[in-house]
Amino acid sequence: MKCEILILGSGPAGWTAALYAARANRRPVVVRGLQPGGQLSITTDVENYPGFAEVIQGPWLMEQMEAQARTAGTEVIDDLITEVRLEQGTPFVCVGDGGAEYYGETLIIATGAQARWLGLESETKFRGHGVSACATCDGFFFRGMEVAVVGGGNTAAEEALFLTNFASRVHLVHRRDVMRAEKVLQDRVLRNEKIVPHWNREVAEVLGDNEPLGVTAIRLRATGDGANGAADETLPVAGVFIAIGHDPATGLFKGKLKMDAHGYIQTAPDSTATEIRGVYAAGDVRDAVYRQAVTAAGMGCMAALEAERFLAERE
């Protein structure tokens, strides 16, 4: 299959890129990947996507984005790209799971990222019902309640501080007795009276009700051999924020595109352009900072406009 603008990923970045590319009459192709709709397809309430006074559901929002992109003239393919060939220049070649080849005069990478989870069964059960990986997205739901943040790096520190705007108390649960976060963030966390650290503990289980599904507490297990004085405990909380990092979906591009130390694709300043002309990266795949649907959508728009200019200049 050949097209002018080939888009990998069907999250907010991918669909917005497709919408703009289709409206520029470039008949884009979107390869949806294993998670059609991206990360928002696994969440429930979304209250911060502009344009909706009522609470909307993540999967519904993604269906709307897909429908809009299709109506504008996007072709949609269900495949998972397992190999890319960029070194020969345009057209760029992407190979699907079953061996199908897709040729794009330009390529927009919108493969997103995945939050890291603890891997507990109870965590999966309550995901979207008290267990979250995004304080910016879900903190508002816990006004006046006690919550826990799990992790010890910059993300955990930032999430804990942000949550103090809403929660009555924020329990910070960390496996070690010192945070890995930058010193300035650590100081802010430790000075904040609303944040209660629980050192040398890990989450053993998320506890909650079934009807309605919701978190009521977390059971903590002491790490180490007990010499550090930490004991098992149960914390009554309404929300648990897992803040142990994100993994950008960039394995395909290792050694082919510049990435930062955490695997996020690097682009030119104020641009989605990678170092290969005609290849663009938009959304969470290149953004370790904001990680929001609206910023991903904004970058999808930028990528499509930049791809369109590249094609127009060549013509």
Ligand X SMILES: Cc1cc2nc3c(=O)[nH]c(=O)nc-3n(C[C@H](O)[C@H](O)[C@H](O)COP(=O)(O)OP(=O)(O)OC[C@H]3O[C@@H](n4cnc5c(N)ncnc54)[C@H](O)[C@@H]3O)c2cc1C
134 is annotated as an active-site residue: yes
Cβ-based nearer residue to ligand X, 199 or 241: 241
Cβ-based nearer residue to ligand X, 81 or 230: 81
Segment near ligand X (CB under 6 A); pick from 12-20, 205-213, 219-227, 306-314: 12-20
Q: What is the DSSP secondary structure assignment for residue 266, as one 8-state letter?
A: P
Name 145's bridge partners.
none
Cβ-based nearer residue to ligand X, 179 or 281: 281
Cβ-based nearer residue to ligand X, 45 or 205: 45
Among 80, 178, 190, 312, binds ligand X (CB under 6 A): 80
Q: Is 230 helix (H, G, I), strand (E, B) or coil?
A: coil
At closest approach, how far in Å is the CB of 123 from ligand X? 12
Q: Is 293 in the site for ligand X (CB under 6 A)?
A: yes
- For ligand X (CB under 6 A), the number of binding residues is 41
Q: Is 296 in the site for ligand X (CB under 6 A)?
A: yes
At closest approach, how far in Å is the CB of 189 from ligand X? 23
At closest approach, how far in Å is the CB of 139 from ligand X? 10
Cβ-based nearer residue to ligand X, 40 or 273: 40
Helix (H) or strand (E) holding 214: strand 214-222
Q: Is 112 in the site for ligand X (CB under 6 A)?
A: yes
Long-range contacts of 159-165 (CB under 8 A, 24+ apart): 159/135, 159/241, 159/243, 160/189, 160/192, 160/195, 160/243, 161/185, 161/188, 161/189, 161/192, 161/195, 162/135, 162/136, 163/135, 163/139, 163/241, 164/192, 164/194, 164/195, 165/139
301 is annotated as an active-site residue: no
Cβ-based nearer residue to ligand X, 113 or 150: 113
138 is annotated as an active-site residue: yes
How many H-runs (helices) and E-runs (strands) does the chain carry?
A: 7, 19
Give dist(CA 209, CA 231) in Å, integer: 25
Among 6, 19, 24, 113, binds ligand X (CB under 6 A): 113
The closest alpha carbon to 306, from 265, 260, 272, belongs to: 272
Q: Is 13 in the site for ligand X (CB under 6 A)?
A: yes
> Cβ-count burial of 175 within 10 angstroms (0-12 exposed, 13-18 middle, 19+ buried)?
middle
Q: What is the DSSP secondary structure assignment for residue 315, as one 8-state letter?
A: -
Q: Is 74 in the site for ligand X (CB under 6 A)?
A: no
DSSP states of 294-311 = HHHHHHHHHHHHHHHHHH
Segment near ligand X (CB under 6 A); pick from 26-34, 158-166, 226-234, 267-275: 26-34
How many C-beta atoms surround the C-beta of residue 227 within 10 A? 7
Q: Where are the alpha helices (DSSP H) in the chain?
A: 12-23, 58-72, 121-125, 135-138, 154-163, 183-191, 293-314
Q: Is 284 in the site for ligand X (CB under 6 A)?
A: yes
Q: Is 304 in the site for ligand X (CB under 6 A)?
A: no
At closest approach, how far in Å is the CB of 109 from ligand X? 9
Find out whether 163 and 142 touch, Cβ atoms under 8 Å: yes
Give the x-and-dash track for 235-264 against ligand X (CB under 6 A).
Answer: --------------x--x------------
Q: Is 39 in the site for ligand X (CB under 6 A)?
A: yes
Which tokens sit at 154?
């910059």
Residues that bind ligand X (CB under 6 A): 8-14, 31-36, 38-40, 42-43, 46, 48-49, 80-81, 110-113, 115, 133-134, 137, 249, 252, 283-285, 291-294, 296
> Which amino acids are annotated catalytic?
134, 137-138
